A and B are shown apart, each in its own frame.
Chain A
Amino acid sequence: MKVLEARGVTKSFGGLKAVDGVSFGVDYGELVGLIGPNGSGKTTLINILSGHLAADAGEILVDGKPMRGLTPLRASRGGIQRMFQLTRVFRRMPALDNLVTAGCALGMALDAAQARARELIEELQLARVATLDAGHLSGGQQKLLEFGCCFMAQPKIALLDEPFAAVHPTMKEIMAGFIRRRHAAGQTFLIVSHDMPVIVELAARTICMNAGEVLADGETRKVLVNPQVIEAYLGGEAA
């Protein structure tokens, strides 16, 4: 059964086709990597899946049901949680309360959300900075915090846009470990990353985009040796 499916999704900015006829689906329990050179349309695709942008053509299906006029609010309430490439935290609110907000907004009672937030902040090893305003956290800590916000309630699917970019190896390991454990417990992920070793390690399946189109979609090992993919990554600038 597919959690999330895109059918012929297209989005242009001016004359530029940022996403061009993209179709794919993610099954329950899958962990899919999404790779592609800079500007290949990964973030734009995530934005469409999470309701932040409206596609020009094509449709998005959640649990097999077509979503018309998906908004960030409806996506979030429908269990599509995302992390932004440029971190978005609530800067003038303590770190812990960032998590509590996410919990309450998805229907948890305040007490329950506070308890859950404490567990989560322990697990992400941010307890030391829990009472600090989120804006005072380091860049990596903010990423980790935003990452945590996606998991206050059990999401149907977590869309993570470059969770490992500019993050110290230790924190990367905290995040990767978290992802591994959740995935083992059945959590579904779509992870954008330029970090090939991590993708190889985590994702059994990988989608590669180039110039808005899906170049390859399949078993990670095979995708990474696909000559077109190598061409896009290495020859992209030269071409």
Chain B
Amino acid sequence: MLSLNIDLLANGLIMGSFYALMAIGLTLIFGLLQIVNFAHGEFYMVGAYAYTLAALKLGLPAWAGLPVAFAVGALVGWLTERTLMRPLYAGYRSWGPMKDEYAIVVTFALSLLLINLVDKVIGPYAVLGPGLVDVARIPLGPVMLTGQKLIATIIAFSTIIATALFIRYSLWGRQIRAVAQNRLGASLAGIDTTKASSIIFALSGALAALSGGLLAPIINTTPDVGSFPAIKSYVIVVLGGMGSIPGSIAASLILGVLESFGAVYISYDYRDAFGLVILIVVLLVRPQGLFGEKGREV
């Protein structure tokens, strides 16, 4: 019984670390523009395909697929910002509620576009990426892990830490935070806000794509595979306080563990609904998110 629980905890934390890698990008974008990017799951999907196809079609070694996924994700994120997000900054004030509508519709349509584009170009059938390592089972105390999971988790954790450090201490990171807090003020202070936005979207795409690459050998990749990680990310962003990075990392781990236990102790069939119920409850109790602050309205 105890060993089952430890196993559940470990697997929950592992899942949570992938969720965190996914959700940080969404959090960054929310912090920047107060919009939800409904194409976020497709950044993941693009990464998963990039990783898999780099190995299967280009014959690259599996580990080389990860930087490929990262780069392709960054490119897609950057293009999204260039082509779709720019109108949101111009006349930011005059948009009013149209801003939310525009952002939802455009990112929703982008998601449709990417799914169907990939479906058309690559095909609808599922592909499984090559593993990073061949080691089948590694006992870690009472917990049994596949080599792939262990290595992917290590990479995910290091990337999360690297990203957090980057945003906290690097010059770019500081500029990003300034822009997220006050776009106008940052531009008056001489920060290139457009560049900062590009970086955020590129980073957001890259991180989601990387988690796609890491999970490609574990979860079958199909054109619509992005919907599951995307929905987890929404839950996490809400739980984590809409825009807070430490908050979303904590929320990811909590969600991972919660789902892992819930699937065993509550219901396996409805496991994907737990997070969604939590999301609704959190927004009901605190419409500004669990750790968010309410701005001045009147």
Contacts and interface: CB of A to CB of B under 8 A. Distances in A.
Interface of A: 43, 47, 52-53, 84, 91, 135
A195 B298 CA distance: 22
A53 B96 contact: no
Given A52-B298, A84-B298, 7 more contacts: A43-B298, A47-B298, A52-B297, A53-B298, A91-B96, A135-B94, A135-B96
Contacts of B96: 91, 135
Nearest to B94: A135
A87 B94 CA distance: 12
Contacts of B297: 52
Nearest to A50: B298
- Which one of B94, B96, B297, B298 has the highest number of Cβ atoms from chain A below 10 Å of its Cβ? B298
A53 B297 CA distance: 10
Can you list the 8 inter-chain pairs with the closest CB atoms, starting with the nearest? A52-B298, A47-B298, A91-B96, A84-B298, A53-B298, A135-B94, A135-B96, A43-B298
Interface of B is mostly: loop
Contacts of B298: 43, 47, 52-53, 84
Interface of B: 94, 96, 297-298
B208 to A, nearest CB: 35
A236 B94 CA distance: 34
Interface of A is mostly: loop
A91 B96 CA distance: 9
A187 B85 CA distance: 49
Nearest to A44: B298
9 contacts: A43-B298, A47-B298, A52-B297, A52-B298, A53-B298, A84-B298, A91-B96, A135-B94, A135-B96
A53 B296 CA distance: 11
Contacts of A53: 298
A142 B263 CA distance: 56
A5 B156 CA distance: 61
A135 B297 CA distance: 19
Contacts of A91: 96
Nearest to A161: B298
A135 B91 CA distance: 13
A149 to B, nearest CB: 16
Contacts of A84: 298
B184 to A, nearest CB: 16
A52 B94 CA distance: 23
A3 to B, nearest CB: 22
Nearest to B93: A86
B292 to A, nearest CB: 15
A84 B94 CA distance: 17
Contacts of A52: 297-298
